[in-house]
Structures are given as C-alpha cells and as structure tokens.
A and B are shown apart, each in its own frame.
Chain A
Amino acid sequence: MISLDNVSKVYARGARPALDSVSLEIERGEFVFVVGASGSGKSTFLRLVLREERPTSGTVTVAGKDLSTLSSWKVPALRRQIGAVFQDFRLLPNKTVFENVAFALQVIGKPKHHIMTVVPDVLEMVGLEGKEKRRPHELSGGEQQRVAIARAFVNRPPILLCDEPTGNLDPTTSLGIMRLLDRINRTGTTVVMATHDDEIVDQMRKRVLELATGELVRDQRRGVYGSQR
C-alpha cells in the first residue's frame, strides 16, 4: 500500500538529511506504529506519503501510484485515498461537529443526500451521536480528536495517517482513541501512526518502525516502543 525505496529527503542543501536512504513496505490492512525521537524523520515520512514534500532521491509509491511521477493536478485524487489525523485536531472552530465532518465531503463535491447519510453513520461509529450540533470548543480533547478521525475517515480512504493523535490527550482518553483506530483498521484500512506514546505501542503489539536521525533502525512485527527512550 505504501512503499519507500531508498528514499532520502534533504530540506536545506548541506544539512543533515531528514530521511536517509529509507526503504520500507507497508501492506494493505496493516497497522503500523512509526516511533522515534523528535526530529527522527517521522513527520517527514508522513509528509512524503501525503506528497506534501517530494523526496530528494528514491521513490515513494502510495496506493499503486509512483509519487515522483504523479503530476500535481492528480495530487487531490491521491489525497482522497488518504485520511489524515493530527495532534492538534485541526477542526474549524466556527463549524459544528456535523459541519466539520461534512466539510471534507462538500469540498470534494459530494452531493448533499450522500453527505446527509454518511456523516451521521461515521459520527455514530466514532461515538459522537447526539453531539452533531456542538462546536469544537464545547467538546473535550478526546471528542475533538474523534471528530477529526470522523472527518478523515468519512470518505472511507484505504489509508489513514495519524501524526501523534494522542499527543494532547490523557492516557484513558488515548486508549479510547486507540480502540477507535483499531476498529477502523479492522475494516481493512491501512493505519500508519506516528507516536511518542510508549504505553500505547507496548499495549497494542503491532508492527513498529523506528526511525533515528533519519534512518530506519528497527522494523519489528508485534513490536514494543523500545528500550532507548
């Protein structure tokens, strides 16, 4: 589903590469943690998959498309295949929960009747039924993240990228979010989650990719966060 072949990314000429000759393969339906200290290249990896950045060398292939040859007008079609969730939720403060989720469908031109049926479904799935008319500031952090996940998943993308989705949440709430991501993964969605949260990684026992200063230092099935922290 996602494959990197010898990918390097250098932001400024002469600087240390953010990613250094990374090769990896993520299969359809996998749940993968990407761990590593700040500055280890986790975010760069996610940005390359979203094609917010282009690699300095090497090839990134996502959902069967080689991103180095993908013309820029096809990028929106690629991004419709990828849901993205962030640490800071990125909700629109002046829109209600329902509108925030519907926004993702409106802007890709989905018809109203479609929106009216799928948005309540996905809100129920993430456990926000009855809160459709709330605004983000009236919700707890965990609920806000659920809205963000609903928005990322409402279009049923085959890939869900999560950049430290539990970074702003307390352990109990984080656990709830992880259960939700696990459920999404069980529908066949490939989930890639960058995280610092060792407890979660150790509990979930999923595949772990560890990056350190831009290099892939560990790729472990049913892995743990790791000793060096």
Chain B
Amino acid sequence: MRLQFILSEIGIGLRRNLSMTVAVILVTFISLTFVGAAGLLQIQVGKLKDDWYGKVEVSVFLCPAGSPNVQCADGEATPEQIDAIWALLDSPELAPEIQKPYFETKEEAFRSFQEYFEGQDWAQAITVDDMQASFRIKLKDPERYEIVADVLSGRPGVESVEDQRKIFDSLFLVLNRASVMTVGLAALMLVAATLLITVTIRLSALSRSRETGIMRLVGASNLFIQLPFMLEGAIAAGIGALLAGGGLWLGVKYLVTDWLAGQVDWVPLVGQSDVLLIAPLLLAIAVVLALVASVVTLRRYMKV
C-alpha cells in the first residue's frame, strides 16, 4: 500500500512538471557525459602509461672518445669502468629494480644507426668512433627511474643517464589538461543540474501543497511526505545518468572501437568495458546529488 502510494505520487509529480523533469534529465545527461568522458580519458592515460612505460628503458650512455663533457675528461670509457657498472647493476641495491640490463657496444650502436638512416648522405660520414656504447636497462617499475639514475650518474665512464619516459611527458600533459578542462566543464554543468533539481522540487512541492498540507494535518511522517519529492529528483537525475552512460557507450563503440581502433592499432584504447566501469559511478553521483539537493530544498521550503 505504502510503496504503491509513493510510486503513484512520484508518477503524478513527474508528469505534472514534465518540462522541468525533461530539463533535469538533459542537464544531468550532458554534465555526466562530461564527467564520464574525463574518466575515460584518465583510463586511456593509464592504459598508455601501462603499455608504453613497459616498453621504455633507461639508457646509460658511456663516455665516447673526445667528449666535451666534464664527466668524460679521462677519455673513452675503459673496459674496467664498464665492468664496474655491470657490478653495480648486480648489486643488491639495484638488482631488485631491474628487469633486464643489456649492453650495447659502439659497433652495435653504429649498425642500428646505419640501418635507421640508410640512404641518407650525411649518415655515411659517421664512423664507429662517433658512436657511444650504452647500457639499456629495463626497469621492473618504470616509475622508480630516479633510484637507478641516482646510483649511476656521475660514475666514472658514465656520460649521462636518460629516461625515455620523458618523450611521453608532453603527450600526457596534454591529455591530463584535457581531462582537467572536461572536469571543470562538468562541474559547472553539475552546478546547473543541482540548481535545476532544486527549482523542480520547489515547483513540485508548490503544486502539491494542498496534498502535503493534508498529509501533515493527518499526521503523515515527514519522510513519507518528502520521500516522493526526493525520489522524483533522484529518478530524473538517474535517468540523466543512464543516458550519459548510454551515450558514452555508443560514443566509445562508434568512435573508438569501430573507427579509431582500425586507424591506430599500436596503442591500447578504452573499450566498452571501461564504460561499464564508469556508468555506475555516474549513476551514484547523480542520485547522491539529487538527494542532497532535495533534502536541502525541502528543509527550506516545506514546513514541518
């Protein structure tokens, strides 16, 4: 009886304020689409990091002959110095961090250089002695680059330590800024959504003041009087969230899975499963926001 009664009250309220209900649905839909897009962007960044950082290495460049660098004033790195670095890589300090060290000699560096720039005239002028030997070190956790850099830089025979991750930094910076902007827009839209929910509930309460007046008079509990209004806001916002989830799902399917994945096959991309991960969060945001907005509104505008 109670449930049926509350449900019918909600139905009446939603239909009576149809245009406001539609406005709430649309605004929450758009704002949560932004929130979801920001979330997907972050998931994408995470996927790229996982994939690319796994492939990148730390390069320890050894002193070549005739380097102008102060580190290399003693000339080319000697076999003893190279052995000392091998020993360091095996030391208990570094060994746990390292997955696989690999030593590239001058000759190997020269060969891959020639292969890479094959056919270019200027490349012919480079000789083996222009190249430098290096250690290529794959880390277990690419984020812990600093430890390796600290131990190895400044050692005799080491010219510089470089982290290939730096190459991606600017790309990630752009992606992160894009998500910040998206979240900012989403926040603004969510404010609009909250205000709209507030107004909708006020209107709804006003148009049913006769009913609620009688309910108060005959001793209906406050929760019983207010629940239909709170649920009204929550349902409208919830529909908006479902639409946002559906929109993101379609967007990812048509833009990413069906199209982008065909064009760009060398990076992992977000998929529909990631949308399924985000959609419940969007729904939770919408419902919580609507409930908070309605509780505040009802406290202010509905006398107990």
Give chain A's interface residues, CB within 8 Å of chain B. 50, 72-73, 75-84, 90, 92, 103-104, 106-112, 115, 151-152, 155
Contact = CB atoms under 8 A, between A and B. Distances in A.
Contacts of A90: 210, 213-214, 217
Contact of B210 (A92, A107, A110): A92
Contacts of A79: 216-219
B219 to A, nearest CB: 4
Interface in B199-234: 210-211, 213-222, 224-225
A77 B220 CA distance: 8
A76 B220 contact: yes
B2 interface: yes
B215 A107 contact: yes
A115 B2 CA distance: 12
B1 interface: yes
A147 to B, nearest CB: 12
Interface of B (DSSP majority class) = helix
A60 B241 CA distance: 49
B222 A92 contact: no
A109 B219 contact: no
Given A92-B210, A103-B214, A104-B214, A109 B222 contact: no
B269 to A, nearest CB: 53
Contacts of B215: 107
A107 B218 contact: yes
Contact of A109 (B1, B216, B217): B1
24 contacts: A73-B221, A75-B304, A76-B219, A76-B220, A80-B218, A80-B219, A84-B217, A90-B214, A90-B217, A92-B210, A92-B211, A92-B214, A104-B214, A104-B218, A106-B5, A107-B220, A108-B218, A108-B220, A108-B224, A110-B1, A111-B1, A151-B214, A151-B218, A152-B218
A197 B210 CA distance: 27
B13 to A, nearest CB: 14
A72 B303 CA distance: 11
A11 to B, nearest CB: 15
Given A104-B218, A107-B5, 5 more contacts: A76-B216, A76-B220, A79-B217, A90-B210, A109-B224
